[in-house]
Amino acid sequence: MGRYIVLTVSAVLVNNFVLSRFLGCCPFLGVSKKLDTALGMSGAVVFVMTIASAVTWCLDRWLLFPNGLGYIHTLAFILVIAALVQFIDIAMKRFLPPLHAALGIFLPLITTNCAVLGVAEMNYASRAGCGEAVFFAFAAAIGFGFALVLFSGIREKLAHADPPRCFRGIALALVTGGLLALAFMGFSGLDKGLERIMQ
Protein backbone atom coordinates (compact mmCIF):
# COMPACT_ATOMS: atom_id res chain seq x y z
CA MET A 1 0.00 0.00 0.00
CA GLY A 2 2.73 2.43 1.06
CA ARG A 3 4.60 1.64 -2.12
CA TYR A 4 1.63 2.68 -4.23
CA ILE A 5 1.24 5.96 -2.33
CA VAL A 6 4.89 6.76 -2.97
CA LEU A 7 4.43 5.80 -6.62
CA THR A 8 1.43 8.13 -6.93
CA VAL A 9 3.16 11.11 -5.32
CA SER A 10 6.22 10.47 -7.45
CA ALA A 11 4.30 10.23 -10.73
CA VAL A 12 1.87 13.08 -10.09
CA LEU A 13 4.00 15.69 -8.34
CA VAL A 14 7.72 14.94 -8.27
CA ASN A 15 8.31 13.34 -11.65
CA ASN A 16 5.33 14.91 -13.38
CA PHE A 17 5.25 13.78 -16.99
CA VAL A 18 4.91 17.23 -18.49
CA LEU A 19 6.62 19.49 -16.01
CA SER A 20 9.56 17.33 -15.03
CA ARG A 21 10.08 14.78 -17.80
CA PHE A 22 8.84 17.06 -20.62
CA LEU A 23 6.76 14.36 -22.24
CA GLY A 24 3.47 15.27 -23.90
CA CYS A 25 4.33 18.95 -24.34
CA CYS A 26 2.34 19.11 -27.58
CA PRO A 27 -1.14 18.65 -26.06
CA PHE A 28 0.06 20.58 -23.01
CA LEU A 29 0.41 23.67 -25.19
CA GLY A 30 -2.16 22.77 -27.81
CA VAL A 31 -5.33 21.99 -25.87
CA SER A 32 -4.82 24.13 -22.77
CA LYS A 33 -6.61 27.26 -23.90
CA LYS A 34 -9.90 26.27 -22.33
CA LEU A 35 -10.57 24.39 -19.13
CA ASP A 36 -13.25 22.10 -20.55
CA THR A 37 -11.15 20.91 -23.50
CA ALA A 38 -8.25 20.38 -21.08
CA LEU A 39 -10.50 18.19 -18.94
CA GLY A 40 -11.60 16.20 -22.01
CA MET A 41 -8.02 15.69 -23.12
CA SER A 42 -6.99 14.63 -19.61
CA GLY A 43 -9.77 12.08 -19.50
CA ALA A 44 -8.74 10.66 -22.86
CA VAL A 45 -5.09 10.46 -21.82
CA VAL A 46 -5.92 8.67 -18.55
CA PHE A 47 -8.08 6.20 -20.45
CA VAL A 48 -5.62 5.46 -23.24
CA MET A 49 -2.45 5.46 -21.14
CA THR A 50 -3.84 2.94 -18.65
CA ILE A 51 -5.04 0.55 -21.34
CA ALA A 52 -1.94 1.03 -23.50
CA SER A 53 0.40 0.24 -20.64
CA ALA A 54 -1.49 -3.00 -19.90
CA VAL A 55 -1.34 -4.04 -23.55
CA THR A 56 2.32 -3.16 -24.01
CA TRP A 57 3.18 -4.97 -20.77
CA CYS A 58 1.53 -8.13 -22.10
CA LEU A 59 3.28 -7.74 -25.45
CA ASP A 60 6.65 -7.27 -23.79
CA ARG A 61 6.27 -10.05 -21.24
CA TRP A 62 4.72 -12.72 -23.42
CA LEU A 63 6.05 -12.07 -26.91
CA LEU A 64 9.13 -9.86 -27.07
CA PHE A 65 11.05 -10.77 -23.92
CA PRO A 66 10.79 -14.59 -24.12
CA ASN A 67 11.94 -14.50 -27.77
CA GLY A 68 14.90 -12.19 -27.07
CA LEU A 69 13.34 -9.42 -29.16
CA GLY A 70 13.65 -6.72 -26.51
CA TYR A 71 15.62 -4.49 -28.86
CA ILE A 72 12.61 -3.88 -31.14
CA HIS A 73 10.25 -2.99 -28.30
CA THR A 74 9.94 0.72 -29.27
CA LEU A 75 8.88 -0.19 -32.81
CA ALA A 76 6.41 -2.80 -31.58
CA PHE A 77 4.97 -0.43 -28.96
CA ILE A 78 4.37 2.34 -31.50
CA LEU A 79 2.58 -0.10 -33.78
CA VAL A 80 0.42 -1.56 -31.04
CA ILE A 81 -0.46 1.78 -29.43
CA ALA A 82 -1.48 3.30 -32.76
CA ALA A 83 -3.69 0.31 -33.56
CA LEU A 84 -5.09 0.28 -30.04
CA VAL A 85 -6.13 3.94 -30.13
CA GLN A 86 -7.85 3.38 -33.46
CA PHE A 87 -9.63 0.36 -32.05
CA ILE A 88 -10.73 2.27 -28.93
CA ASP A 89 -12.03 5.05 -31.17
CA ILE A 90 -14.15 2.62 -33.19
CA ALA A 91 -15.35 0.61 -30.20
CA MET A 92 -16.17 3.69 -28.15
CA LYS A 93 -18.20 5.16 -30.98
CA ARG A 94 -20.26 1.99 -31.09
CA PHE A 95 -20.71 1.15 -27.40
CA LEU A 96 -20.18 4.39 -25.47
CA PRO A 97 -21.43 7.24 -27.68
CA PRO A 98 -21.61 9.82 -24.82
CA LEU A 99 -18.00 9.12 -23.85
CA HIS A 100 -17.02 9.28 -27.51
CA ALA A 101 -18.74 12.64 -27.85
CA ALA A 102 -16.70 13.92 -24.90
CA LEU A 103 -13.31 12.37 -25.72
CA GLY A 104 -13.63 11.47 -29.40
CA ILE A 105 -11.86 14.43 -30.94
CA PHE A 106 -8.89 13.96 -28.61
CA LEU A 107 -8.34 10.28 -29.34
CA PRO A 108 -6.61 10.72 -32.73
CA LEU A 109 -4.34 13.29 -31.09
CA ILE A 110 -3.15 10.70 -28.60
CA THR A 111 -2.11 8.16 -31.25
CA THR A 112 1.31 9.72 -31.53
CA ASN A 113 1.50 11.15 -28.03
CA CYS A 114 4.98 10.70 -26.58
CA ALA A 115 3.57 10.51 -23.05
CA VAL A 116 1.77 7.26 -23.91
CA LEU A 117 4.87 5.78 -25.51
CA GLY A 118 7.00 7.19 -22.69
CA VAL A 119 5.09 5.36 -19.99
CA ALA A 120 5.39 2.09 -21.92
CA GLU A 121 9.13 2.67 -22.30
CA MET A 122 9.54 3.37 -18.60
CA ASN A 123 7.61 0.28 -17.67
CA TYR A 124 9.83 -1.69 -20.05
CA ALA A 125 12.98 -0.25 -18.50
CA SER A 126 11.86 -0.79 -14.89
CA ARG A 127 10.69 -4.40 -15.51
CA ALA A 128 7.75 -3.69 -13.20
CA GLY A 129 5.00 -6.23 -12.56
CA CYS A 130 1.71 -5.95 -14.39
CA GLY A 131 -0.28 -4.30 -11.58
CA GLU A 132 2.48 -1.88 -10.78
CA ALA A 133 3.01 -0.98 -14.43
CA VAL A 134 -0.68 -0.23 -15.00
CA PHE A 135 -0.92 1.71 -11.75
CA PHE A 136 2.14 3.76 -12.65
CA ALA A 137 0.63 4.56 -16.06
CA PHE A 138 -2.64 5.59 -14.42
CA ALA A 139 -0.88 7.82 -11.88
CA ALA A 140 1.35 9.35 -14.55
CA ALA A 141 -1.72 10.11 -16.67
CA ILE A 142 -3.41 11.71 -13.66
CA GLY A 143 -0.26 13.80 -13.25
CA PHE A 144 -0.43 14.80 -16.90
CA GLY A 145 -4.10 15.75 -16.53
CA PHE A 146 -3.35 17.66 -13.32
CA ALA A 147 -0.65 19.72 -15.03
CA LEU A 148 -2.87 20.30 -18.08
CA VAL A 149 -5.85 21.47 -16.01
CA LEU A 150 -3.67 23.74 -13.82
CA PHE A 151 -2.07 25.23 -16.91
CA SER A 152 -5.35 25.81 -18.71
CA GLY A 153 -6.74 27.53 -15.60
CA ILE A 154 -3.78 29.89 -15.65
CA ARG A 155 -4.11 30.46 -19.39
CA GLU A 156 -7.80 31.29 -19.06
CA LYS A 157 -6.87 33.98 -16.55
CA LEU A 158 -3.98 35.14 -18.74
CA ALA A 159 -6.38 35.70 -21.64
CA HIS A 160 -7.51 38.84 -19.83
CA ALA A 161 -3.99 40.17 -19.40
CA ASP A 162 -2.55 42.76 -21.70
CA PRO A 163 1.00 41.62 -22.41
CA PRO A 164 3.30 43.25 -24.96
CA ARG A 165 2.42 42.19 -28.50
CA CYS A 166 5.52 40.03 -28.95
CA PHE A 167 4.58 37.98 -25.87
CA ARG A 168 1.01 37.21 -26.85
CA GLY A 169 -0.15 33.68 -27.47
CA ILE A 170 2.29 30.80 -27.47
CA ALA A 171 5.27 32.85 -26.21
CA LEU A 172 3.50 33.70 -22.97
CA ALA A 173 2.23 30.10 -22.74
CA LEU A 174 5.80 28.76 -22.94
CA VAL A 175 7.01 31.18 -20.26
CA THR A 176 4.07 30.23 -18.05
CA GLY A 177 4.74 26.53 -18.61
CA GLY A 178 8.37 27.08 -17.62
CA LEU A 179 7.36 28.86 -14.42
CA LEU A 180 4.92 26.06 -13.60
CA ALA A 181 7.71 23.52 -14.12
CA LEU A 182 9.94 25.57 -11.79
CA ALA A 183 7.18 25.59 -9.19
CA PHE A 184 6.88 21.80 -9.45
CA MET A 185 10.60 21.50 -8.77
CA GLY A 186 9.64 22.45 -5.22
CA PHE A 187 8.22 18.96 -4.84
CA SER A 188 11.56 17.27 -5.51
CA GLY A 189 12.58 14.92 -2.73
CA LEU A 190 9.02 14.53 -1.51
CA ASP A 191 8.83 10.94 -2.77
CA LYS A 192 12.13 10.00 -1.09
CA GLY A 193 10.97 11.49 2.19
CA LEU A 194 7.65 9.68 1.98
CA GLU A 195 9.44 6.41 1.25
CA ARG A 196 11.55 6.85 4.38
CA ILE A 197 8.47 7.56 6.51
CA MET A 198 6.68 4.52 5.10
CA GLN A 199 9.50 2.11 5.91
Partner 1 sequence: MTVAILCIAGIGLVAAVVLAIADGCLSVKEDPRIGMVVAALPGANCGGCGFPGCDGYARALVAGTAPNGACAAGGEACAAEIAKILGVEAVATERRVALVKCCGTRSEAIRVGDYNGICDCGVAAMTAGGDKGCTYGCLGYGACANVCPKGAISIRDGLAKVDKRLCIGCGKCVAVCPRRLIELVPASATIHVLCNNPDKGPNVRKVCGVGCMGCHLCEKNSGGKEAGHFTFQGFLAKVNYANPPTDAAIVAKCPAKCMMEDPHFESGR
**Cβ-based nearer residue to partner 1, 94 or 196:** 94
Quote the least distance from Cβ 11 to partner 1, whole Å: 28
Quote the least distance from Cβ 99 to partner 1, whole Å: 14
Give ∠ CA 112-71-74 in degrees, rounded to 5.
5
Whether the CB-CB separation of 115 and 49 falls below 8 Å is answered with: yes
Q: Which of residues 43-102 bind partner 1 (CB under 8 A)?
A: 59, 63-64, 67, 69, 71-72, 75-76, 79-80, 82-83, 86-87, 90-91, 93-95, 97
Quote the least distance from Cβ 22 to partner 1, whole Å: 28
| 170 lines the binding site for partner 1 (CB under 8 A) | no
How many residues make contact with partner 1 (CB under 8 A)? Answer: 25
Quote the least distance from Cβ 55 to partner 1, whole Å: 11
Quote the least distance from Cβ 70 to partner 1, whole Å: 10
| 162 lines the binding site for partner 1 (CB under 8 A) | yes
Q: 49: how many CB neighbours lie within 10 A of its CB?
A: 31
**Cβ-based nearer residue to partner 1, 82 or 180:** 82
Residue 26's closest CA among 170, 158, 166?
A: 170
Instruction: Give dist(CA 128, CA 65) in Å, integer.
Output: 13
For the stretch 155-163, contacts whose Cβ atoms lie closer than 8 Å and that sit 24 or more positions apart, written own/partner, are 155/32, 155/33, 156/33, 156/34, 156/35, 159/33
Whether the CB-CB separation of 19 and 184 falls below 8 Å is answered with: yes
For 25, 41, 98, the CA distances from 114, given in Å and listed in that order, are 9, 14, 27
Report CA torsion sign: 186, 191, 192, 198: positive
**Cβ-based nearer residue to partner 1, 43 or 104:** 104
Binds partner 1 by CB under 8 A, chosen from 1, 125, 161, 166 = 161
Contact set with partner 1 (CB under 8 A): 59, 63-64, 67, 69, 71-72, 75-76, 79-80, 82-83, 86-87, 90-91, 93-95, 97, 159-162
